[in-house]
A and B are shown apart, each in its own frame.
Chain A
Amino acid sequence: MKIEETNSAKTYMNPYLAGFLLGLVLLATIYITGRGLGASGAIKSAVVATVETVAPQHAQNTAFYKNFDNEHPEGPWKNFLVFEVVGVLVGAFFSGIIANRVSLKLEKGPRVTNLTRVIAASLGGAFFGYGSQLGRGCTSGSALSGMAVLSLGGILTMLAIFGAAYALAFFFRKLWLK
């Protein structure tokens, strides 16, 4: 399996060094805020904000959105995770610029068409989005941050994510392998 890269793109950082730096960012987050990093929470904020804007009547009559508003009296946008994810966009873009990796591109396995990739990515995203709400956080918020504070639930979710992905890898190999 060859990973295609343009000649000018810099190689990736040593994974252990990157992991160490990521760990320090996570540690700083826990020290400052008392809780870890996340990503899916920001998507949830976007969903709630959208529903409240597009269908305010529906949002007012549905227990889930009412509970969310009670728990987040400042509104869905004024949220730690939303600001953090905006930072992720900026930070990743900055990293991409200095490593010369920014370009419009559709990355996919060697045997699939663009359309298949877009459908699979959306479908996978839908699964991940749904699962992240059921599991109270995604790879960042539940698995990684959970591991840092030794949360039983976080570590179980991590095992379930990677376990299921390994178990299903064989069935979806045509999406990724030659």
Chain B
Amino acid sequence: MGPLVPFIVSEELSLVIAFFLGIGFGFTLEQAGFSSTKKLVGLFYGYDFTVLRVFFTAGITAMAGVLLMGHYGILDLSIIYVNPTFLNSALLGGAVMGAGFIIGGFCPGTSVCALAVGKMDALAFLVGAFLGVLAFTESFPLVEELYMANNLGQIRISEYFGISNIAFGFMLAGMAIAAFVATWFIENKVNKRETGISATLRNKYALSAAALFVVLGVVAFLPGKEDIINRKIAEAKRQQTCVFKEIAADKLADQIVSKYYTLNVIDVRPTEKFEEFHLPFAINIPFDKLMDRQ
């Protein structure tokens, strides 16, 4: 079960993998045209929306993949890194980056790609970025308060709005497709052209969009790993192939209070969860370690 680092893939090996993932990242960015500053800023003047298309498609693809892998228990969504939300610095930092984007014509990743194909303006951008980061690290005490203000923790946008991940996934996918259609018209208008779209290409786009919604639909409506496990447990219980003794919470509480010395409460949740809260006198043995007898 993913993520593979640190238990299946070591930290050392992950550095080698990082290099190869970087190759994939750089290759696709350059293939998409992100090594050209004019193509990048085209987004802001309406003549070229490539950035929006690539960026949104990548985000949606990865998001759908993460949700699908989480649904089938291939990736543990509770331990992957969710960028923490510090409201003030997220918004202000973003705005400063936006200014940097329109003035400099790159963002850090794309400037690296542009430098790789020999763009000298990208080199200037990277030198500037180095100095900008240095200015931050040197002035950190001055901005520390702002940097730490309004910490909401590792919160997902779906949690913030009180909806499920997949519901937000559907919304984001819908927004992306609406944006793709709208920007196509804007681009034609700004460039004063009437580009048609061939029937085969149109069909391919429609199929891809349909595939996206099929994946999201699978996550939303088909039983996931947890559902399947629960169903198996329920089935075993019904057929009595396996004996379960269930106990009501208040009865357990009573027994713990009155004769805790005869009861062993083993908490099989992960250690972090155990440390958050646990029953009195409970012993923590995480589920995956339950079988290795020490």
Decide if B137 touches A121 in the complex (CB within 8 Å).
Answer: no
Tell me the smallest distance from the CB of A94 to a CB of chain B, in Å. Answer: 6
Q: Are A153 and B120 CB-contacts (below 8 A) given A23-B60, A133-B133?
A: no
Instruction: Give the residues in chain A near B115, CB-CB below 8 Å.
Output: 89
Decide if B62 touches A26 in the complex (CB within 8 Å).
Answer: yes
Decide if B119 touches A43 in the complex (CB within 8 Å).
Answer: no
Tell me the smallest distance from the CB of A111 to a CB of chain B, in Å. Answer: 13
Q: Chain B: which residue is nearest A21 at the CB level?
A: B28
CB-contacts of B29-73 with A (<8 A): 29-33, 35-39, 41-45, 47-48, 50, 53-63, 65-66, 69
Identify the interface centre among B29, B43, B100, B130: most chain A CB within 10 Å of its CB.
Answer: B100
- In the assembled complex, the Cα of A106 lies from the Cα of B117 at a distance in Å of 11
Decide if A139 touches B109 in the complex (CB within 8 Å).
Answer: yes
> How many A-B contacts at CB < 8 Å in the complex?
547
Instruction: Give the residues in chain A near B41, CB-CB below 8 Å.
Output: 169, 176
Q: Would you call B131 an interface residue if the criterion is a C-beta within 8 Å of the partner chain's C-beta atoms?
A: yes
Instruction: Give the residues in chain A near B18, CB-CB below 8 Å.
Output: 33, 80-81, 83-84, 87
Tell me the smallest distance from the CB of B245 to a CB of chain A, in Å. Answer: 37
Decide if B94 touches A157 in the complex (CB within 8 Å).
Answer: yes
Decide if B117 touches A96 in the complex (CB within 8 Å).
Answer: yes
- With contacts A47-B137, A86-B19 known, what are 4 further pairs, Cβ within 8 A? A106-B120, A123-B104, A138-B108, A150-B63
Instruction: Identify the A interface with B (CB < 8 A).
Output: 1, 3, 12-13, 15-16, 18-40, 43-44, 46-48, 50-51, 63-65, 78-81, 83-96, 99, 101-109, 117-169, 172-173, 175-177
